[in-house]
Chains A and B, each alone.
Chain A
Amino acid sequence: MARPPVEKANKRKYMLEKLSGRVFLFCALLSVISLLLIIGFVFFKGINPFVAEGYSFINFLFGDDWVPSEDQFGIFPMIVASIYATIGALIIGVPIGLFTAIFLAEIAPKKVAKIISPAVQLLAGIPSVLYGVFGLAVIVPFLQNNLGLAKGQSLIAVILVLAIMMLPTVVTVSETAIRAVPKSYREGSLALGVSHIGTIFRVVVPAAKSGILTAVVLGMGRAIGETMAVILVAGNSLIVPTSLTDSVRPLTTNIALEMGYAAGVHQEMLFATGIVLFSFILILNFVLAKISAKGGN
Protein backbone atom coordinates (compact mmCIF):
# COMPACT_ATOMS: atom_id res chain seq x y z
CA MET A 1 0.00 0.00 0.00
CA ALA A 2 2.80 2.34 0.90
CA ARG A 3 4.84 1.35 -2.08
CA PRO A 4 3.55 3.26 -5.08
CA PRO A 5 4.00 6.76 -3.57
CA VAL A 6 7.60 5.94 -2.64
CA GLU A 7 8.36 4.86 -6.17
CA LYS A 8 6.76 7.96 -7.49
CA ALA A 9 8.98 10.13 -5.32
CA ASN A 10 11.98 8.23 -6.54
CA LYS A 11 10.95 8.75 -10.11
CA ARG A 12 10.88 12.47 -9.53
CA LYS A 13 14.34 12.30 -8.04
CA TYR A 14 15.66 10.42 -11.04
CA MET A 15 14.09 12.96 -13.38
CA LEU A 16 15.68 15.78 -11.48
CA GLU A 17 19.00 13.96 -11.51
CA LYS A 18 18.84 13.54 -15.25
CA LEU A 19 17.76 17.10 -15.83
CA SER A 20 20.51 18.64 -13.75
CA GLY A 21 23.01 16.41 -15.54
CA ARG A 22 21.82 17.90 -18.80
CA VAL A 23 22.13 21.45 -17.50
CA PHE A 24 25.73 20.85 -16.48
CA LEU A 25 26.51 19.27 -19.83
CA PHE A 26 24.97 22.20 -21.66
CA CYS A 27 27.07 24.70 -19.71
CA ALA A 28 30.21 22.70 -20.33
CA LEU A 29 29.45 22.47 -24.02
CA LEU A 30 28.81 26.18 -24.21
CA SER A 31 32.37 27.04 -23.28
CA VAL A 32 33.79 24.42 -25.61
CA ILE A 33 31.62 25.69 -28.43
CA SER A 34 32.66 29.30 -27.93
CA LEU A 35 36.28 28.23 -27.95
CA LEU A 36 35.82 26.31 -31.18
CA LEU A 37 33.91 29.20 -32.74
CA ILE A 38 36.63 31.68 -31.95
CA ILE A 39 39.39 29.42 -33.20
CA GLY A 40 37.39 28.50 -36.29
CA PHE A 41 36.64 32.10 -37.11
CA VAL A 42 40.21 33.29 -36.64
CA PHE A 43 41.62 30.41 -38.65
CA PHE A 44 39.05 30.75 -41.40
CA LYS A 45 39.80 34.42 -41.83
CA GLY A 46 43.53 34.13 -41.28
CA ILE A 47 44.22 31.25 -43.64
CA ASN A 48 42.36 32.81 -46.53
CA PRO A 49 45.14 34.97 -48.01
CA PHE A 50 47.47 31.99 -48.18
CA VAL A 51 45.07 29.46 -49.66
CA ALA A 52 42.86 31.66 -51.84
CA GLU A 53 44.93 34.66 -52.75
CA GLY A 54 48.40 33.29 -53.27
CA TYR A 55 50.33 35.02 -50.51
CA SER A 56 53.35 33.13 -49.24
CA PHE A 57 53.12 32.02 -45.63
CA ILE A 58 56.92 31.93 -45.39
CA ASN A 59 57.13 35.55 -46.50
CA PHE A 60 54.47 36.37 -43.96
CA LEU A 61 56.40 34.75 -41.10
CA PHE A 62 59.88 35.86 -42.09
CA GLY A 63 59.25 39.05 -44.02
CA ASP A 64 60.73 42.19 -42.51
CA ASP A 65 58.28 44.70 -43.93
CA TRP A 66 54.74 45.35 -42.89
CA VAL A 67 53.31 47.97 -45.25
CA PRO A 68 49.64 47.18 -45.82
CA SER A 69 49.22 50.00 -48.34
CA GLU A 70 51.88 48.40 -50.54
CA ASP A 71 50.55 44.92 -50.04
CA GLN A 72 53.51 43.86 -47.91
CA PHE A 73 52.77 41.74 -44.88
CA GLY A 74 55.83 40.50 -42.99
CA ILE A 75 55.52 39.99 -39.24
CA PHE A 76 59.05 38.86 -38.44
CA PRO A 77 59.90 42.01 -36.44
CA MET A 78 56.77 41.52 -34.34
CA ILE A 79 57.50 37.86 -33.66
CA VAL A 80 60.97 38.80 -32.54
CA ALA A 81 59.62 41.66 -30.42
CA SER A 82 57.08 39.36 -28.74
CA ILE A 83 59.67 36.71 -28.01
CA TYR A 84 62.23 39.18 -26.69
CA ALA A 85 59.68 40.94 -24.54
CA THR A 86 58.44 37.67 -23.08
CA ILE A 87 61.90 36.29 -22.39
CA GLY A 88 63.03 39.59 -20.91
CA ALA A 89 60.00 39.73 -18.66
CA LEU A 90 60.68 36.17 -17.53
CA ILE A 91 64.30 36.95 -16.73
CA ILE A 92 63.22 39.76 -14.44
CA GLY A 93 59.84 38.55 -13.25
CA VAL A 94 60.54 34.92 -12.43
CA PRO A 95 63.40 35.36 -9.94
CA ILE A 96 61.63 38.23 -8.21
CA GLY A 97 58.36 36.32 -8.15
CA LEU A 98 60.00 33.14 -6.92
CA PHE A 99 61.92 34.90 -4.18
CA THR A 100 58.77 36.68 -3.11
CA ALA A 101 56.94 33.36 -2.98
CA ILE A 102 59.74 31.77 -0.97
CA PHE A 103 59.78 34.72 1.38
CA LEU A 104 56.01 34.59 1.90
CA ALA A 105 55.80 30.84 2.33
CA GLU A 106 58.97 30.11 4.28
CA ILE A 107 60.57 33.13 5.84
CA ALA A 108 58.14 35.96 6.54
CA PRO A 109 56.43 36.02 9.93
CA LYS A 110 52.76 35.08 9.58
CA LYS A 111 51.64 38.64 10.17
CA VAL A 112 53.77 40.04 7.36
CA ALA A 113 52.74 37.29 4.95
CA LYS A 114 49.11 38.01 5.75
CA ILE A 115 49.55 41.56 4.52
CA ILE A 116 51.74 40.94 1.48
CA SER A 117 49.95 37.89 0.08
CA PRO A 118 46.60 39.61 -0.49
CA ALA A 119 48.39 42.68 -1.81
CA VAL A 120 50.11 40.59 -4.44
CA GLN A 121 46.83 38.94 -5.34
CA LEU A 122 45.22 42.32 -5.69
CA LEU A 123 47.91 43.16 -8.21
CA ALA A 124 46.39 40.48 -10.45
CA GLY A 125 43.03 42.20 -10.39
CA ILE A 126 44.23 45.57 -11.63
CA PRO A 127 42.98 46.19 -15.21
CA SER A 128 45.86 45.93 -17.62
CA VAL A 129 45.33 49.39 -19.06
CA LEU A 130 46.29 50.79 -15.68
CA TYR A 131 49.60 48.95 -15.84
CA GLY A 132 50.09 50.62 -19.20
CA VAL A 133 49.26 54.02 -17.78
CA PHE A 134 51.66 53.43 -14.92
CA GLY A 135 54.34 52.39 -17.40
CA LEU A 136 53.70 55.44 -19.50
CA ALA A 137 53.63 57.85 -16.59
CA VAL A 138 56.49 56.44 -14.52
CA ILE A 139 58.68 53.90 -16.31
CA VAL A 140 58.86 55.64 -19.70
CA PRO A 141 59.90 59.06 -18.37
CA PHE A 142 62.31 57.38 -15.98
CA LEU A 143 64.02 55.59 -18.88
CA GLN A 144 63.96 58.71 -20.97
CA ASN A 145 65.67 60.73 -18.29
CA ASN A 146 68.13 58.18 -17.03
CA LEU A 147 69.19 56.42 -20.21
CA GLY A 148 69.15 59.57 -22.29
CA LEU A 149 66.69 58.12 -24.79
CA ALA A 150 64.89 60.28 -27.28
CA LYS A 151 61.82 58.20 -26.65
CA GLY A 152 61.30 56.16 -23.50
CA GLN A 153 58.84 53.81 -25.16
CA SER A 154 60.98 50.80 -25.84
CA LEU A 155 61.57 47.09 -25.50
CA ILE A 156 62.92 47.55 -22.01
CA ALA A 157 59.81 49.48 -20.98
CA VAL A 158 57.65 46.63 -22.27
CA ILE A 159 59.80 44.11 -20.43
CA LEU A 160 59.51 46.00 -17.15
CA VAL A 161 55.75 46.40 -17.39
CA LEU A 162 55.26 42.74 -18.34
CA ALA A 163 57.57 41.62 -15.53
CA ILE A 164 55.41 43.48 -13.03
CA MET A 165 52.25 42.11 -14.61
CA MET A 166 53.38 38.49 -14.38
CA LEU A 167 54.40 38.81 -10.74
CA PRO A 168 51.01 37.99 -9.20
CA THR A 169 50.71 34.81 -11.25
CA VAL A 170 54.25 33.69 -10.56
CA VAL A 171 54.07 34.55 -6.87
CA THR A 172 50.67 33.07 -6.13
CA VAL A 173 51.14 29.82 -8.03
CA SER A 174 54.64 29.15 -6.73
CA GLU A 175 53.70 30.14 -3.19
CA THR A 176 50.92 27.57 -3.28
CA ALA A 177 53.33 24.96 -4.61
CA ILE A 178 55.90 25.73 -1.92
CA ARG A 179 53.34 25.60 0.86
CA ALA A 180 52.19 22.21 -0.40
CA VAL A 181 55.61 20.66 0.24
CA PRO A 182 55.19 18.28 3.19
CA LYS A 183 56.45 19.57 6.53
CA SER A 184 58.29 16.30 7.01
CA TYR A 185 60.77 17.22 4.27
CA ARG A 186 61.68 20.41 6.08
CA GLU A 187 62.01 18.64 9.41
CA GLY A 188 64.11 15.91 7.85
CA SER A 189 66.50 18.43 6.39
CA LEU A 190 66.72 20.66 9.47
CA ALA A 191 67.29 17.63 11.68
CA LEU A 192 70.34 16.85 9.55
CA GLY A 193 71.91 20.12 10.60
CA VAL A 194 71.12 21.93 7.38
CA SER A 195 70.29 25.61 7.74
CA HIS A 196 66.89 27.12 7.04
CA ILE A 197 67.99 28.68 3.77
CA GLY A 198 69.86 25.52 2.78
CA THR A 199 66.70 23.53 3.43
CA ILE A 200 64.66 25.87 1.26
CA PHE A 201 66.94 25.63 -1.74
CA ARG A 202 67.97 22.00 -1.46
CA VAL A 203 64.69 20.34 -0.52
CA VAL A 204 61.68 22.63 -0.54
CA VAL A 205 62.14 24.35 -3.90
CA PRO A 206 63.13 21.15 -5.75
CA ALA A 207 60.11 19.41 -4.27
CA ALA A 208 57.90 22.25 -5.51
CA LYS A 209 59.57 22.22 -8.91
CA SER A 210 56.62 21.27 -11.07
CA GLY A 211 54.37 23.84 -9.41
CA ILE A 212 57.00 26.51 -9.90
CA LEU A 213 57.42 25.59 -13.56
CA THR A 214 53.68 25.86 -13.96
CA ALA A 215 53.89 29.33 -12.48
CA VAL A 216 56.56 30.26 -15.00
CA VAL A 217 54.56 28.99 -17.95
CA LEU A 218 51.41 30.75 -16.78
CA GLY A 219 53.38 33.98 -16.32
CA MET A 220 54.78 33.53 -19.80
CA GLY A 221 51.28 33.15 -21.22
CA ARG A 222 50.28 36.31 -19.50
CA ALA A 223 53.25 38.18 -20.96
CA ILE A 224 52.93 37.00 -24.52
CA GLY A 225 49.19 37.68 -24.69
CA GLU A 226 49.19 41.07 -23.00
CA THR A 227 48.00 43.83 -25.31
CA MET A 228 46.69 46.98 -23.71
CA ALA A 229 49.57 47.76 -21.37
CA VAL A 230 52.06 46.96 -24.10
CA ILE A 231 50.54 49.31 -26.65
CA LEU A 232 51.11 52.24 -24.33
CA VAL A 233 54.79 51.64 -23.67
CA ALA A 234 56.10 49.78 -26.74
CA GLY A 235 56.55 52.68 -29.14
CA ASN A 236 55.21 50.52 -31.99
CA SER A 237 58.06 50.86 -34.47
CA LEU A 238 58.18 48.20 -37.15
CA ILE A 239 61.79 47.15 -36.85
CA VAL A 240 63.55 44.03 -35.67
CA PRO A 241 64.82 45.19 -32.29
CA THR A 242 68.57 45.06 -31.89
CA SER A 243 68.80 46.77 -28.54
CA LEU A 244 66.75 46.98 -25.37
CA THR A 245 66.11 50.64 -26.04
CA ASP A 246 64.56 50.10 -29.48
CA SER A 247 60.94 50.95 -29.96
CA VAL A 248 59.06 47.72 -30.75
CA ARG A 249 55.71 46.36 -31.89
CA PRO A 250 54.79 42.93 -30.50
CA LEU A 251 52.16 40.72 -32.19
CA THR A 252 49.27 41.64 -29.93
CA THR A 253 49.86 45.32 -30.40
CA ASN A 254 49.80 44.99 -34.16
CA ILE A 255 46.37 43.40 -34.12
CA ALA A 256 44.89 45.87 -31.68
CA LEU A 257 46.28 48.94 -33.40
CA GLU A 258 45.13 48.14 -36.91
CA MET A 259 42.07 45.97 -36.65
CA GLY A 260 39.85 49.02 -36.21
CA TYR A 261 40.29 50.28 -39.73
CA ALA A 262 41.71 47.32 -41.67
CA ALA A 263 39.73 45.73 -44.47
CA GLY A 264 40.19 43.01 -47.07
CA VAL A 265 43.53 41.24 -47.16
CA HIS A 266 44.95 43.58 -44.55
CA GLN A 267 42.30 42.49 -42.11
CA GLU A 268 42.84 38.85 -42.94
CA MET A 269 46.56 39.26 -42.34
CA LEU A 270 45.77 40.57 -38.87
CA PHE A 271 43.80 37.40 -38.24
CA ALA A 272 46.81 35.46 -39.48
CA THR A 273 48.89 37.35 -36.91
CA GLY A 274 46.36 36.11 -34.39
CA ILE A 275 46.95 32.52 -35.52
CA VAL A 276 50.66 32.89 -34.88
CA LEU A 277 49.98 34.31 -31.44
CA PHE A 278 47.52 31.54 -30.77
CA SER A 279 50.10 28.94 -31.76
CA PHE A 280 52.48 30.31 -29.18
CA ILE A 281 49.81 30.02 -26.51
CA LEU A 282 48.94 26.50 -27.64
CA ILE A 283 52.56 25.44 -27.38
CA LEU A 284 52.72 26.92 -23.89
CA ASN A 285 49.60 25.03 -22.86
CA PHE A 286 51.04 21.86 -24.25
CA VAL A 287 54.19 22.38 -22.20
CA LEU A 288 52.05 23.10 -19.17
CA ALA A 289 50.10 19.87 -19.62
CA LYS A 290 53.38 17.98 -19.88
CA ILE A 291 54.65 19.56 -16.69
CA SER A 292 51.56 18.82 -14.66
CA ALA A 293 51.46 15.25 -15.96
CA LYS A 294 55.05 14.84 -14.81
CA GLY A 295 54.33 16.49 -11.46
CA GLY A 296 51.50 14.03 -10.89
CA ASN A 297 53.86 11.06 -10.96
Chain B
Amino acid sequence: MVMTTLLSKHNKKVKEDLQQMTESNGKTKISVRDLNLFYGEKQALYSLSLDIQEKEVTALIGPSGCGKSTFLRTLNRMNDLIDGVNITGDITIDNENIYQSTDVIKLRTKVGMVFQKANLFPMSIYDNVAYGPRGQGIKSKKELDKIVEESLRGAAIWDEVKDRLKTSALGLSGGQQQRICIARAIAMKPEIILMDEPTSALDPISTLKVEELIADMKKDYTIVIVTHNMQQAARVSDKTAFFLNGEVVEFDTTDKIFSVPKDQRTEDYITGRFG
Protein backbone atom coordinates (compact mmCIF):
# COMPACT_ATOMS: atom_id res chain seq x y z
CA MET B 1 0.00 0.00 0.00
CA VAL B 2 2.67 2.38 1.10
CA MET B 3 4.80 1.13 -1.75
CA THR B 4 2.23 1.91 -4.39
CA THR B 5 1.66 5.43 -3.15
CA LEU B 6 5.37 5.96 -3.07
CA LEU B 7 5.65 4.56 -6.52
CA SER B 8 2.90 6.73 -7.95
CA LYS B 9 4.45 9.71 -6.21
CA HIS B 10 7.70 8.83 -7.85
CA ASN B 11 6.03 8.50 -11.21
CA LYS B 12 4.47 11.87 -10.78
CA LYS B 13 7.82 13.36 -9.87
CA VAL B 14 9.43 11.83 -12.93
CA LYS B 15 6.68 13.21 -15.10
CA GLU B 16 7.09 16.69 -13.68
CA ASP B 17 10.84 16.53 -14.06
CA LEU B 18 10.42 15.46 -17.64
CA GLN B 19 8.01 18.26 -18.23
CA GLN B 20 10.38 20.77 -16.72
CA MET B 21 13.17 19.38 -18.79
CA THR B 22 11.26 19.74 -22.02
CA GLU B 23 10.20 23.19 -20.97
CA SER B 24 13.68 24.36 -20.19
CA ASN B 25 14.95 22.77 -23.39
CA GLY B 26 12.49 24.89 -25.35
CA LYS B 27 14.01 27.84 -27.09
CA THR B 28 11.98 30.95 -27.73
CA LYS B 29 11.07 31.01 -31.39
CA ILE B 30 8.65 33.90 -31.53
CA SER B 31 8.71 36.73 -29.10
CA VAL B 32 5.90 39.27 -28.99
CA ARG B 33 6.29 42.48 -27.03
CA ASP B 34 3.63 45.09 -26.40
CA LEU B 35 1.83 44.42 -29.66
CA ASN B 36 -1.06 46.73 -30.54
CA LEU B 37 -3.04 46.48 -33.74
CA PHE B 38 -5.55 48.92 -35.17
CA TYR B 39 -7.98 48.45 -38.03
CA GLY B 40 -8.23 52.12 -38.90
CA GLU B 41 -9.53 53.73 -35.71
CA LYS B 42 -10.60 50.48 -34.17
CA GLN B 43 -8.12 48.74 -31.90
CA ALA B 44 -8.20 44.96 -32.20
CA LEU B 45 -5.16 43.89 -30.17
CA TYR B 46 -4.07 45.45 -26.86
CA SER B 47 -0.43 45.30 -25.79
CA LEU B 48 0.11 41.58 -26.25
CA SER B 49 3.30 40.07 -24.91
CA LEU B 50 4.08 36.38 -25.13
CA ASP B 51 6.85 33.98 -26.05
CA ILE B 52 6.24 31.01 -28.28
CA GLN B 53 8.63 28.11 -27.86
CA GLU B 54 10.34 26.26 -30.64
CA LYS B 55 8.83 22.91 -31.68
CA GLU B 56 5.82 23.26 -29.48
CA VAL B 57 2.19 23.55 -30.34
CA THR B 58 0.68 26.75 -29.04
CA ALA B 59 -3.10 27.00 -29.10
CA LEU B 60 -4.98 30.28 -29.23
CA ILE B 61 -8.48 30.09 -27.80
CA GLY B 62 -11.15 32.63 -27.01
CA PRO B 63 -14.60 33.78 -28.07
CA SER B 64 -15.37 34.93 -31.60
CA GLY B 65 -14.03 38.35 -32.49
CA CYS B 66 -11.45 38.46 -29.72
CA GLY B 67 -8.54 38.85 -32.12
CA LYS B 68 -7.07 35.34 -32.50
CA SER B 69 -6.95 35.43 -36.30
CA THR B 70 -5.74 39.00 -36.25
CA PHE B 71 -2.87 38.04 -33.96
CA LEU B 72 -2.03 34.94 -35.99
CA ARG B 73 -1.88 37.01 -39.15
CA THR B 74 0.55 39.47 -37.61
CA LEU B 75 3.06 36.60 -37.39
CA ASN B 76 3.44 36.27 -41.16
CA ARG B 77 2.39 39.84 -41.90
CA MET B 78 -0.77 38.87 -43.73
CA ASN B 79 -2.42 41.90 -42.18
CA ASP B 80 -0.23 44.02 -44.46
CA LEU B 81 -2.75 43.22 -47.19
CA ILE B 82 -5.57 45.02 -45.40
CA ASP B 83 -5.88 48.76 -45.92
CA GLY B 84 -5.56 50.94 -42.87
CA VAL B 85 -3.95 48.42 -40.52
CA ASN B 86 -1.58 49.95 -38.03
CA ILE B 87 0.74 47.97 -35.82
CA THR B 88 2.91 49.04 -32.89
CA GLY B 89 5.21 46.93 -30.76
CA ASP B 90 7.69 44.24 -31.66
CA ILE B 91 7.53 40.72 -32.97
CA THR B 92 10.83 38.94 -33.28
CA ILE B 93 11.34 35.53 -34.82
CA ASP B 94 14.75 34.01 -34.14
CA ASN B 95 15.77 37.38 -32.73
CA GLU B 96 14.93 39.19 -35.93
CA ASN B 97 12.29 41.89 -35.82
CA ILE B 98 9.90 40.92 -38.60
CA TYR B 99 8.39 44.37 -38.91
CA GLN B 100 11.76 46.07 -39.27
CA SER B 101 13.05 43.81 -41.99
CA THR B 102 11.18 44.46 -45.19
CA ASP B 103 11.64 41.03 -46.74
CA VAL B 104 8.09 39.77 -46.38
CA ILE B 105 8.70 37.01 -48.91
CA LYS B 106 11.49 35.54 -46.80
CA LEU B 107 9.31 35.79 -43.72
CA ARG B 108 6.43 33.98 -45.37
CA THR B 109 8.77 31.29 -46.62
CA LYS B 110 9.81 30.67 -43.05
CA VAL B 111 6.33 31.03 -41.58
CA GLY B 112 3.74 28.95 -43.42
CA MET B 113 0.01 29.26 -42.99
CA VAL B 114 -2.99 26.96 -43.22
CA PHE B 115 -6.35 28.66 -43.51
CA GLN B 116 -9.72 27.89 -42.00
CA LYS B 117 -11.20 26.94 -45.33
CA ALA B 118 -9.01 24.83 -47.58
CA ASN B 119 -7.91 27.20 -50.32
CA LEU B 120 -6.22 25.03 -52.89
CA PHE B 121 -5.67 26.56 -56.29
CA PRO B 122 -7.67 25.33 -59.27
CA MET B 123 -4.84 23.14 -60.52
CA SER B 124 -3.63 19.58 -60.04
CA ILE B 125 -2.63 18.19 -56.66
CA TYR B 126 0.96 18.08 -57.83
CA ASP B 127 0.97 21.68 -59.05
CA ASN B 128 -0.55 22.86 -55.80
CA VAL B 129 2.18 21.30 -53.70
CA ALA B 130 4.90 22.33 -56.16
CA TYR B 131 3.54 25.87 -56.33
CA GLY B 132 5.69 27.34 -53.56
CA PRO B 133 8.96 25.61 -54.50
CA ARG B 134 8.49 26.65 -58.12
CA GLY B 135 8.10 30.21 -56.91
CA GLN B 136 11.51 29.85 -55.30
CA GLY B 137 12.94 28.97 -58.68
CA ILE B 138 13.12 25.20 -58.37
CA LYS B 139 12.58 23.84 -61.87
CA SER B 140 14.13 20.40 -61.96
CA LYS B 141 11.39 17.81 -62.25
CA LYS B 142 13.29 15.32 -60.17
CA GLU B 143 13.69 17.75 -57.34
CA LEU B 144 10.07 18.84 -57.49
CA ASP B 145 8.89 15.21 -57.56
CA LYS B 146 10.89 14.59 -54.44
CA ILE B 147 9.55 17.65 -52.63
CA VAL B 148 5.98 16.82 -53.58
CA GLU B 149 6.26 13.26 -52.35
CA GLU B 150 7.98 14.25 -49.12
CA SER B 151 5.45 16.95 -48.41
CA LEU B 152 2.47 14.72 -49.12
CA ARG B 153 3.98 12.03 -46.90
CA GLY B 154 4.63 14.67 -44.27
CA ALA B 155 0.95 15.58 -44.39
CA ALA B 156 -0.01 11.89 -44.17
CA ILE B 157 -1.93 11.94 -47.40
CA TRP B 158 0.53 10.45 -49.87
CA ASP B 159 -1.13 7.03 -49.97
CA GLU B 160 -4.53 8.53 -50.63
CA VAL B 161 -3.49 10.66 -53.59
CA LYS B 162 -0.33 9.16 -55.07
CA ASP B 163 -2.24 7.70 -58.02
CA ARG B 164 -4.03 10.91 -58.89
CA LEU B 165 -1.40 13.60 -58.51
CA LYS B 166 -2.20 15.06 -61.90
CA THR B 167 -5.94 15.40 -61.28
CA SER B 168 -7.56 18.57 -60.03
CA ALA B 169 -7.07 19.17 -56.34
CA LEU B 170 -10.58 20.55 -56.08
CA GLY B 171 -12.00 17.08 -56.64
CA LEU B 172 -10.80 15.90 -53.21
CA SER B 173 -12.87 15.79 -50.05
CA GLY B 174 -12.71 18.73 -47.65
CA GLY B 175 -10.52 16.83 -45.20
CA GLN B 176 -8.14 15.71 -47.92
CA GLN B 177 -7.97 19.24 -49.31
CA GLN B 178 -7.03 20.59 -45.91
CA ARG B 179 -4.22 18.06 -45.60
CA ILE B 180 -3.01 19.00 -49.10
CA CYS B 181 -2.97 22.59 -47.84
CA ILE B 182 -0.75 21.43 -45.03
CA ALA B 183 1.45 19.60 -47.55
CA ARG B 184 1.61 22.75 -49.63
CA ALA B 185 2.82 24.67 -46.58
CA ILE B 186 5.32 21.95 -45.67
CA ALA B 187 6.74 22.00 -49.20
CA MET B 188 8.26 25.38 -48.44
CA LYS B 189 10.23 23.79 -45.59
CA PRO B 190 9.01 26.41 -43.14
CA GLU B 191 10.05 26.53 -39.51
CA ILE B 192 6.76 27.80 -38.20
CA ILE B 193 3.26 26.83 -39.31
CA LEU B 194 0.26 28.97 -38.45
CA MET B 195 -3.14 27.32 -38.56
CA ASP B 196 -6.38 29.24 -38.31
CA GLU B 197 -9.15 26.87 -37.25
CA PRO B 198 -7.87 24.22 -39.68
CA THR B 199 -10.50 21.64 -38.76
CA SER B 200 -13.58 23.78 -38.25
CA ALA B 201 -14.98 22.77 -41.63
CA LEU B 202 -14.13 19.08 -41.29
CA ASP B 203 -15.96 15.98 -40.13
CA PRO B 204 -14.78 14.27 -36.90
CA ILE B 205 -12.66 11.65 -38.66
CA SER B 206 -10.84 14.14 -40.86
CA THR B 207 -10.41 16.31 -37.79
CA LEU B 208 -8.79 13.43 -35.96
CA LYS B 209 -6.43 12.82 -38.86
CA VAL B 210 -5.37 16.46 -38.91
CA GLU B 211 -4.88 16.41 -35.15
CA GLU B 212 -2.68 13.33 -35.38
CA LEU B 213 -0.78 15.05 -38.11
CA ILE B 214 -0.23 18.12 -35.94
CA ALA B 215 1.02 16.00 -33.06
CA ASP B 216 3.42 14.34 -35.45
CA MET B 217 4.57 17.58 -37.08
CA LYS B 218 5.52 19.03 -33.73
CA LYS B 219 8.93 17.39 -33.86
CA ASP B 220 9.87 19.42 -36.91
CA TYR B 221 7.86 22.60 -36.71
CA THR B 222 6.76 25.28 -34.33
CA ILE B 223 2.98 25.36 -34.63
CA VAL B 224 0.52 28.06 -33.64
CA ILE B 225 -3.08 26.99 -33.96
CA VAL B 226 -6.33 28.87 -33.48
CA THR B 227 -9.21 26.67 -32.40
CA HIS B 228 -12.71 26.96 -31.02
CA ASN B 229 -12.61 23.36 -29.97
CA MET B 230 -11.52 23.08 -26.33
CA GLN B 231 -10.87 19.35 -26.57
CA GLN B 232 -8.72 19.98 -29.58
CA ALA B 233 -6.66 22.57 -27.76
CA ALA B 234 -6.28 20.20 -24.84
CA ARG B 235 -5.37 17.28 -27.11
CA VAL B 236 -2.83 18.85 -29.42
CA SER B 237 -1.21 21.79 -27.69
CA ASP B 238 1.60 22.27 -25.21
CA LYS B 239 0.77 25.87 -24.39
CA THR B 240 -2.51 27.70 -24.55
CA ALA B 241 -3.23 31.39 -24.73
CA PHE B 242 -6.70 32.58 -23.81
CA PHE B 243 -7.72 35.71 -25.72
CA LEU B 244 -10.51 38.05 -24.71
CA ASN B 245 -11.39 41.37 -26.34
CA GLY B 246 -7.99 41.74 -27.95
CA GLU B 247 -6.00 40.92 -24.84
CA VAL B 248 -4.24 37.80 -23.65
CA VAL B 249 -5.91 37.01 -20.36
CA GLU B 250 -3.82 33.98 -19.57
CA PHE B 251 -0.96 32.15 -21.23
CA ASP B 252 0.42 28.98 -19.72
CA THR B 253 0.95 25.29 -20.29
CA THR B 254 -2.16 23.67 -21.64
CA ASP B 255 -2.31 21.38 -18.61
CA LYS B 256 -2.50 24.33 -16.23
CA ILE B 257 -4.96 26.31 -18.34
CA PHE B 258 -7.33 23.38 -18.44
CA SER B 259 -6.87 22.14 -14.88
CA VAL B 260 -5.96 25.12 -12.70
CA PRO B 261 -6.59 28.35 -14.60
CA LYS B 262 -5.50 31.38 -12.61
CA ASP B 263 -8.01 33.80 -14.03
CA GLN B 264 -11.72 33.48 -13.34
CA ARG B 265 -12.51 34.48 -16.95
CA THR B 266 -10.36 31.65 -18.32
CA GLU B 267 -12.12 29.18 -16.08
CA ASP B 268 -15.52 30.49 -17.14
CA TYR B 269 -14.59 30.16 -20.79
CA ILE B 270 -13.16 26.66 -20.72
CA THR B 271 -15.98 25.35 -18.62
CA GLY B 272 -18.46 26.88 -21.00
CA ARG B 273 -19.90 29.27 -18.45
CA PHE B 274 -18.85 32.22 -20.50
CA GLY B 275 -21.25 35.03 -21.43
A38 to chain B, nearest CB (A): 40
Find the residue from A189, A194, A195 having the highest chain B CB count within 10 A.
A194
Knowing A185-B119, A185-B121, A203-B121 are in contact, say whether A191-B135 is a contact too (CB < 8 A).
no
Q: A192, B135: Cβ atoms under 8 Å?
A: yes
B89 at the interface (CB under 8 A from A): no
Knowing A184-B119, A185-B119, A187-B119 are in contact, say whether A195-B76 is a contact too (CB < 8 A).
no
Q: A188, B188: Cβ atoms under 8 Å?
A: no
Taken together as a complex, chains A and B put the C-alpha atoms of A182 and B119 apart, in Å, by 9
Residues of chain B from 74 to 107 with CB closer than 8 A to chain A in the complex: 76, 78, 81, 83, 105-107
B112 at the interface (CB under 8 A from A): yes
| A residues less than 8 Å from B115 (CB atoms) | 184, 187-188, 191
A-B contact count (CB 8 A): 63
B131 at the interface (CB under 8 A from A): yes
| B residues less than 8 Å from A207 (CB atoms) | 121-122
A202 at the interface (CB under 8 A from B): yes
Residue of A nearest to B108 (CB): A193
Knowing A191-B76, A192-B112, A207-B122 are in contact, say whether A184-B132 is a contact too (CB < 8 A).
no
Knowing A184-B117, A184-B119, A185-B119 are in contact, say whether A190-B108 is a contact too (CB < 8 A).
yes
Residue of A nearest to B128 (CB): A188
Knowing A187-B78, A198-B135 are in contact, say whether A193-B105 is a contact too (CB < 8 A).
yes
Taken together as a complex, chains A and B put the C-alpha atoms of A198 and B135 apart, in Å, by 8
Majority-rule SS of A interface residues: helix
A189 to chain B, nearest CB (A): 7
B124 to chain A, nearest CB (A): 12
| A residues less than 8 Å from B83 (CB atoms) | 110
Taken together as a complex, chains A and B put the C-alpha atoms of A193 and B107 apart, in Å, by 7
| A residues less than 8 Å from B188 (CB atoms) | 192-193
Q: A202, B109: Cβ atoms under 8 Å?
A: no
Q: A192, B132: Cβ atoms under 8 Å?
A: yes
Taken together as a complex, chains A and B put the C-alpha atoms of A191 and B182 apart, in Å, by 12
Residues of chain A from 158 to 214 with CB closer than 8 A to chain B in the complex: 182, 184-195, 198, 202-203, 206-207
Taken together as a complex, chains A and B put the C-alpha atoms of A186 and B78 apart, in Å, by 11
| B residues less than 8 Å from A190 (CB atoms) | 78, 81, 108
A228 to chain B, nearest CB (A): 41
| B residues less than 8 Å from A184 (CB atoms) | 115, 117, 119
B185 at the interface (CB under 8 A from A): yes
Taken together as a complex, chains A and B put the C-alpha atoms of A220 and B181 apart, in Å, by 39
Q: Return the contact of B184 from the options A192, A203, A206 (Cβ within 8 A).
A: A192
Knowing A188-B115, A191-B78, A192-B112 are in contact, say whether A202-B131 is a contact too (CB < 8 A).
yes
Q: B109, A193: Cβ atoms under 8 Å?
A: yes
Residues of chain A from 270 to 288 with CB closer than 8 A to chain B in the complex: none
Find the residue from A189, A191, A194, A202 having the highest chain B CB count within 10 A.
A191
Taken together as a complex, chains A and B put the C-alpha atoms of A191 and B131 apart, in Å, by 12
A selection of 10 A-B contacts at a CB cut-off of 8 Å is: A110-B83, A185-B121, A187-B115, A188-B119, A190-B81, A191-B115, A193-B107, A193-B108, A195-B105, A203-B121
Residue positions of B touching A, CB distance < 8 A = 76, 78, 81, 83, 105-109, 112-113, 115, 117, 119-123, 131-132, 135-136, 181, 184-185, 188
3 closest A-B pairs by CB: A193-B109, A184-B119, A193-B108
